[in-house]
Structure 1
């Protein structure tokens, strides 16, 4: 169908697929899918995608191609984006070429700055950021994007190659994590995030906005613990600062098997959630935030918002 488009986010940990149908001068999302591909596993800190990572990527993209075919979406109307693992891998372009030769899907490897901008557009579409300054954080497997913004403008943004798969392989040698490993993580954050601290001081955002991924799972755990009902369609989901600290404290004491038993935990997040939460806790202790908001929208919805704006601009020209 001519008016259907697809957006694919080839993340370091998860591949996401979104299919939308053109409607007037906008799009309606008709399908979402995701697969835990973990292309960064075992090679991300060495700047390479392993052979097993490549095979998982090919299987995932072939699966997505089958879905595209089933929904009548042409590869010409498919927008696929590679992020941290692919942009930093010596063989990243080789992987992209192989995927294209097998599925016909072309992939753009985007810089961190562009990734951050799409994340901002996605979060803005979900939440309506208002006039307060927000620190938006998207914790991926390979990189973490930080954006300080309100609804009307971005004041500062930067992508740091300190994603959860990298942190997991660099620091978490024991399960449950050792206190000494947490200390090493915090020392690493202190050293790596100096530009962020300067931006926090300059712009003083009052709200922490978590984008998708880890924050979705934290919100799920929080809602189940506090008997809060939420629907799958919600674009903003509940999480409090106090609730985060309760979950974080619990996660530090549990091994993988015990974490999997936490209601709301999913296999896709269970390995990386400890180091990701150490980063969130570090941020909450480094700067005063009045509250946390969680956006279920991220990069792919940001691309959709961008394409919607392009469509409206074209329509208004006629």
Structure 2
């Protein structure tokens, strides 16, 4: 592929169930150098809203997806990108009209979307987190809470010991346990979610018991939000450091606030992205559950996930 300039510019798109991410980098000409980040942006698409639990992408969400990708396409052209890689995860994996959306995206933007399985998603997330967090020789529990699925990986800096993707993302949990999130989440709903997680996450509990991870590293929006709540301000994608230490007391404090307020009060909490406020409730129940079964006290949030994992892989190959 010959272009006017010799630069290899790469666009990486992660089409998540809640959020679409775009990362544009210029690849190094000298091996071993880091790629130059030209653009890092995201859009709250809520692809799973109003349909993922029924196995379909709702019309409004479908339209938002196409609109967002048209915008991404403009950025890609503006930055004279030479190669685009787009991956889609849970929402497009499991919905009846996911394949239609893949086709429409290609027809309208020329972007070919690769729908990847959960196991592959977990591998890429691990590769991304390793770019942000020095894991060292001890095993850690890595966790990515998406809108559709949640990936758990137990890994150190060089080895993945165990990984599994569960279709229990925040949009699904919201649909199932907190369908009318205007008010305060009922205590019975919290208990029901905990019981559900107890049943579904039995393989995770067994893996934790076996590998004894020493810390939790969380990637994705819910963890970013909790780190922002700790700081008391909402940070843009470009301003996030590679990782943040999330103090356990701060998490517990945020969790209490999320459980005690109604929708308006949650949205008003410092550091909260309004579209994430309700999902954060069910996500925090999930994080609290995982902390409970693992007895982990150290939490770090990683700003890097799937798309950075893809980039790391492409730098090697």
Partner of 2:10: 5
**From 285, 293, 311, the counterpart of 1:286:** 293
Larger CA deviation: 160-169 vs 260-269: 260-269
Runs of 4+ in structure 1 over 3 Å off: none
In the alignment, is residue 248 of structure 1 matched against residue 281 of structure 2? no
In 1, Cα distance between equivalents of 2:136 and 2:174: 35
In 2, Cα distance between equivalents of 1:268 and 1:8: 21
In 2, Cα distance between equivalents of 1:54 and 1:219: 30
Partner of 1:314: none
The 5 A counterparts of 1:57-96 are: 57-74=65-82, 77-96=83-102
In 2, Cα distance between equivalents of 1:56 and 1:224: 30
Q: Residue 233 of structure 1: CA displacement?
A: 4.9
In 2, Cα distance between equivalents of 1:124 and 1:232: 19
Partner of 2:228: 220
Q: TM-score, normalised by structure 1?
A: 0.93
In the alignment, is residue 197 of structure 1 matched against residue 205 of structure 2? yes
**Are the aligned partners of 2:240 and 2:303 in contact in 1 as well (CA < 8 Å)?**
no
Q: TM-score, normalised by structure 2?
A: 0.93
For residue 277 of structure 2, give the secondary structure of its aligned residue in structure 1: coil
**Are the aligned partners of 1:122 and 1:302 in contact in 2 as well (CA < 8 Å)?**
yes
In the alignment, is residue 151 of structure 1 matched against residue 189 of structure 2? no
Q: Residue 224 of structure 1: CA displacement?
A: 2.5
Larger CA deviation: 46-55 vs 21-30: 21-30
Q: Residue 271 of structure 1: CA displacement?
A: 2.2
In the alignment, is residue 123 of structure 1 matched against residue 129 of structure 2? yes
**From 17, 31, 51, the counterpart of 1:43:** 51
**Are the aligned partners of 1:206 and 1:288 in contact in 2 as well (CA < 8 Å)?**
no
**Are the aligned partners of 2:216 and 2:296 in contact in 1 as well (CA < 8 Å)?**
yes
In the alignment, is residue 266 of structure 1 matched against residue 273 of structure 2? yes
In 2, Cα distance between equivalents of 1:70 and 1:255: 42
**From 297, 303, 315, the counterpart of 1:308:** 315
In 2, Cα distance between equivalents of 1:137 and 1:233: 18
For residue 269 of structure 1, give the secondary structure of its aligned residue in structure 2: helix
**RMSD, aligned α-carbons:** 1.3
**Are the aligned partners of 2:291 and 2:297 in contact in 1 as well (CA < 8 Å)?**
no
Superposed CA deviations along residues 296-315 of structure 1, whole A, max 9, x for unmatched, are 101111111111111xxxxx
Q: Residue 268 of structure 1: CA displacement?
A: 3.2
**From 130, 148, 165, the counterpart of 2:171:** 165
Q: Residue 197 of structure 1: CA displacement?
A: 0.8
Gapped regions of structure 1 (runs ≥ 5): 226-230, 311-318
How many matched pairs? 303
For residue 162 of structure 2, give the secondary structure of its aligned residue in structure 1: strand
Partner of 2:189: 181
Larger CA deviation: 188-197 vs 253-262: 253-262
In 2, Cα distance between equivalents of 1:60 and 1:269: 18
